[in-house]
């Protein structure tokens, strides 16, 4: 996915290895850094976004140019809504996983850290209008779940904050299908997406697969996902092992999100 970077400025470095961050580019800038010599191949940027994505281009007079671009990230949260987290049938289905793994408390902390780091936080709720049922789920449930205008459709307390983006038009499991999610990512110059939400093996998995097919650098953050059992959770994580971005790993996304012990939900 190509992202436009309108502002170009130059800086130089005498280090043998160019440190892209020393150029201090903004999220929408491209910085041209010159150094002699430079690595023949750029090192991949870490998941936490602290590094930069660089391409080595041949220059003149035995010099090479390094174009440094800081990755712009998004955190997409799927169905962190009261239908799942407020007492009721749906809550009972995931309660054990939510409680034992502190999923909601961890998600609150992750969103706080993400906003501080300048990560774009996007919510993909499912809201069903019983007077205008769209999608198979709306008809199968007679519009009685995630119902528009009821507390069940509201965001889980402490997850949404003013300034976050909200996906519109969602009627099915895949948060891309029939919605403006792809447009939101494109308009905000996003090239790396982290997913969390409910349930891991259904809505989150389907959305992640679509993101990967679109060519996005997409990852699953397991600590902020949940499904109906530990076995289903582990199976989903195994299927996406190549695209997992655990919070506790060194170089993982949103460093600091687990520094404080999550409070009981």
What pTM did the predictor assign?
A: 0.73
CA distances from 52 to 42, 44, 67, 172 (A): 9, 8, 10, 35
CATH classification at residue 124: 3.40.50.850
Mean pLDDT (whole number) for 165-191: 96
Residues 60 and 77 in one domain: no
If one compares 30 and 150, the residue with the highest pLDDT of the two is 150
Q: Counting beta carbons within 10 angstroms of the beta carbon of residue 123, is it exposed (0 to 12), middle (13 to 18) or buried (19 or more)? A: buried
Residues 210 and 93 in one domain: yes
Residues 32 and 59 in one domain: yes
**How high is the pLDDT of residue 248?**
85
Is residue 31, in this structure, part of any structural domain at all? yes
Q: Identify the domain boundary among 52, 69, 86.
A: 69
**How high is the pLDDT of residue 46?**
53
Is residue 83, in this structure, part of any structural domain at all? yes
CA distances from 2 to 155, 187, 198 (A): 32, 12, 30
Mean pLDDT (whole number) for 43-64: 43
Residues 225 and 98 in one domain: yes
Say how far apart CA 242 and CA 122 lie, in whole Å. Answer: 23
Residue range(s) defining the domain that contains residue 97 = 73-243
Mean pLDDT (whole number) for 170-184: 96
Say how far apart CA 90 and CA 70 lie, in whole Å. Answer: 40
Say how far apart CA 126 and CA 133 lie, in whole Å. Answer: 12
Per-residue pLDDT reduced to its tens digit, 13-27: 333 333 433 343 333
pLDDT at 53 over 70: no
Q: Considering its fold, how many domains does the chain have in total?
A: 2
**Residue among 123, 115, 128 nearest 78 (CA):** 123
Percent of the chain at pLDDT > 90 equals 58
Is residue 253, in this structure, part of any structural domain at all? no
Is residue 255, in this structure, part of any structural domain at all? no
Residues 136 and 160 in one domain: yes
Residues 127 and 94 in one domain: yes
Residues 153 and 90 in one domain: yes
Residues 58 and 79 in one domain: no
């Amino acid at each position: 996915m190509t992202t436009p970077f309108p502002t170009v400025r130059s800086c130089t470095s005498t280090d043998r290895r160019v440190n892209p961050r020393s150029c201090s580019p903004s999220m929408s800038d491209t910085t041209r850094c010159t150094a002699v010599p430079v690595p023949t191949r750029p090192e991949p940027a870490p998941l936490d976004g602290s590094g930069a994505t660089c391409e080595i281009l041949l220059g003149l007079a035995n010099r090479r140019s390094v174009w440094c671009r800081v990755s712009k990230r998004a955190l997409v949260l799927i169905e962190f809504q009261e239908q799942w987290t407020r007492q009721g049938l749906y809550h009972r289905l995931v309660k054990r996983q939510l409680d034992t793994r502190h999923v909601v408390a961890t998600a609150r902390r992750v969103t706080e850290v993400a906003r501080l780091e300048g990560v774009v936080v996007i919510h993909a709720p499912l809201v069903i209008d019983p007077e205008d049922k769209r999608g198979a789920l709306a008809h199968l449930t007679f519009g009685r779940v995630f119902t528009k205008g009821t507390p069940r459709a509201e965001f889980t307390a402490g997850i949404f904050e003013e300034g976050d983006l909200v996906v519109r038009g969602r009627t099915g499991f895949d948060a891309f299908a029939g919605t403006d999610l792809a447009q939101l990512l494109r308009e905000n110059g996003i090239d790396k997406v982290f997913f969390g939400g409910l349930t891991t093996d259904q809505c989150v998995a389907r959305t992640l697969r679509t993101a990967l097919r679109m060519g996005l650098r997409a990852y699953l953050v397991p600590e902020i996902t949940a499904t109906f059992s530990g076995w289903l959770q582990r199976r989903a994580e195994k299927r996406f092992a190549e695209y997992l971005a655990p919070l506790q790993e060194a170089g993982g996304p949103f460093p600091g999100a687990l520094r404080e012990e999550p409070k009981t939900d």
